Amino acid sequence: MKKEFAVIGLGRFGGSICRELIAQGMEVLAIDIDEERVNEYSEIATYAVIADTTDEAVLKNLGIRNFEHVIVAIGDNIQASILTTIILKELGVERITVKAQNDYHEKVLRKIGADQVVHPERDMGVRIVTNLVSNNVLDYLELSNEYSIVELIAGIKMDGKTLLELDIRAKYGVNIVAIKRNEEILVSPQAEEKIKKGDVLVVIGAYQDINRLEKKMS
Ligand code: ATP
Ligand code: ATP
Ligand code: CA
């Protein structure tokens, strides 16, 4: 069965969460006070509504209690974030994840019973794109909302194949900027370069594309 999520606040963080949940086949109710933001997600999300989530009656009417997991991604308006979280808690939402803006905000959120507090700007360990987290990903550097540089461990499917045979750039739209092999580092590898299992590939590209490569090759 599909899991039902609600995402409150469709900024960069909430928006990414929303897209990624949809990409993984989940049902998502997208909520924002801002009409433009909601319009942006009306075609992507399962449902999208304009609402002020600091209003308890509004959240009640949305049937928010029935969602298994609610993500509060209101960043800058800390007061709205806290108030929304309190209401969700009072309405008995099963699982609440909240984006914290700073340490003080995080402390308050934990006190009022948020199940999970995430700090995406500070802690890249809490991945925006959850399925980038894998045994094959060593590290990553966020370049923007869309692009990153990721260190991937080459698996058996790549072993002994050249970049040309794997046709990585053409198939995935990403570039391998370096290959780390033991103590060696090969910068800007050419098409003829053979990959060995266990090589660390430094890949640059869009999250989604790198993710596709990682899944296909592991
Ligand atoms: P991010 O920090 O994730 O990049 P952002 O900086 O673009 O996002 P924030 O100000 O952090 O945006 O807020 C995220 C979203 O939360 C905004 O789209 C804003 O309209 C929405 N939001 C703010 N207050 C409320 C509220 N009371 N009810 C619903 N949504 C709200
Ligand atoms: P293209 O526009 O397809 O990249 P090209 O002439 O630059 O053409 P080559 O450098 O000969 O192509 O590489 C052929 C193919 O090998 C590329 O299309 C790409 O799929 C793959 N490839 C080569 N080098 C890399 C790299 N550093 N990272 C990812 N893929 C590569
Ligand atoms: Ca922000």
| CATH number, residue 109 | 3.40.50.720
- Digit-coded pLDDT (tens) for 20-38: 999 999 999 999 999 999 9
Average the pLDDT over 64-82 and give the result: 95
Beta bridge partner(s), residue 99 = 118
Binned at pLDDT 50, 70 and 90, residue 126 comes out as very low
User: Residue 159 in 3-state DSSP?
Assistant: coil
Does 168 lie in the same domain as 96? no
The tally of domains found in the chain comes to 2
Q: Kindly report the pTM of this predicted structure.
A: 0.58
Of 169, 175, 188, 213, which is best to mutate to test ligand 2, by the most ligand atoms within 8 angstroms of its C-beta?
169
Over 60: is that where the pLDDT of 133 sits?
Answer: no
Parallel, antiparallel or unpaired: strands 200-206 and 175-181:
antiparallel
pLDDT of res. 143 = 83
- Of all protein residues, whose CA lies closest to atom 1 belonging to ligand 2? 170
Alpha helices in the chain (DSSP H): 12-23, 35-41, 56-61, 78-90, 103-111, 163-166, 168-172, 207-217
Beta bridge partner(s), residue 141 = 149
Query: Cβ < 6 Å from ligand 1: which residues?
Result: 8-14, 31-34, 37, 52-54, 73-77, 80
ipTM comes to 0.51
Does 64 lie in the same domain as 144? no
Does 110 lie in the same domain as 31? yes
Phi and psi at residue 63, to the nearest 5°: 65, 35
Binned at pLDDT 50, 70 and 90, residue 130 comes out as very low
